[in-house]
A = this chain, B = another copy of it.
Amino acid sequence: MARIKEFDSDKALDAAVGVFREHGFEGTSTEMLVQAMKIGRQSLYDTFGDKWALYRLAVQRYASEETDAHIAMLRGKPRAIDGIAAMINRVVATANQACLGINSICEFGQSRPDLAEVHRAADHRLRHAASERVRQAQETGDVDNSLAADAVVDFLFASITGIRVAARGGAGRNQLASLGQLALRAIV
């Protein structure tokens, strides 16, 4: 048998992520996708199914990479609180790019169960890692011990959302940095 060309499906998916995060699902046409992904139209349907399946896969891919990046920051410093700060600071530094996760949640809410499941699964892994690090920071006294670790994690993620949406709304870099500082200040 002949295993043949097999275009770089990962790169194509990354390109799809780039289009979807900027224009959303409804704002993206298949024409935009095939041009950005630089593949034939038929290849798109053969490889990914239909537009919705591709969108779901793009959200999954994006969430997975985002989760990896968050966890790398969280665990990249010896002291837990420094890891938490690094995660927030990375968000501030990269806030100029639209977040496909937030956009997806805003666009569809809970109306598509299969999409909500993608979000739920991605959140689970990140929440686990963040929760562990928050508890460590509480043990060393860097995060208030009287707070529930889960509540702190929720708050950190909500703050990340606030920073990213503020950036998409046109906030400047120092505004975003200030938001990050205040978020950290809230949990000490």
Contact = CB atoms under 8 A, between A and B. Distances in A.
A89 interface: no
A158 interface: yes
Interface in A156-182: 157-163, 165-166, 168-171, 175, 178-179, 182
Contacts of A15: none
B158 A166 contact: yes
Interface stretch (A4-12, A42-50, A64-72, A103-111): A103-111
Interface string A130-172: 0000000000000000011001101101111111011011110
A34 to B, nearest CB: 19
State how many copies of this chain the complex holds.
2
A105 B95 CA distance: 14
B109 A98 contact: yes
A164 to B, nearest CB: 9
A116 to B, nearest CB: 7
Interface in A1-28: 22, 24, 26-27
A183 interface: yes
A117 B110 CA distance: 30
B178 A182 contact: no
A97 to B, nearest CB: 10
| 6 pairs of A and B residues whose beta carbons are closest in the complex | A158-B162, A186-B186, A26-B26, A162-B162, A106-B106, A155-B182
